Amino acid sequence: MRFRIRKCPKCGRYTLKEICPVCGEKTKVAHPPRFSPEDPYGEYRRRLKRELLGIGRKEK
């Protein structure tokens, strides 16, 4: 297993287990995705961000 530390999205506690021992929620990996200078999905990520924030829309 590469990343060991995990975080519970419900209560915010860190653990090494797949299930949070406090609230029983499934935990997620606490590490950010690996950085790549090529950023193969950057265009799609920026497009989604613009759509969600409403940036770039022309008001009539």
- Spell out the domain ranges in the chain: 1-31
The structure's pTM equals 0.55
User: Residue 34's pLDDT is what?
Assistant: 83
* 25-53 per-residue burial string, b: 16 or more CB within 10 A, e: under 16: eebeeeeeeeeeeeeeeeeeeeeeeeeee
Instruction: Find residue 29's DSSP bridge partners.
Output: 6
For residue 27, pLDDT over 70 is answered with yes
d(CA 19, CA 22): 9
What average pLDDT does range 26-35 have in this prediction? Answer: 89
Q: How many CB atoms lie within 10 A of CB 18?
A: 9
Average pLDDT of span 11-25: 94
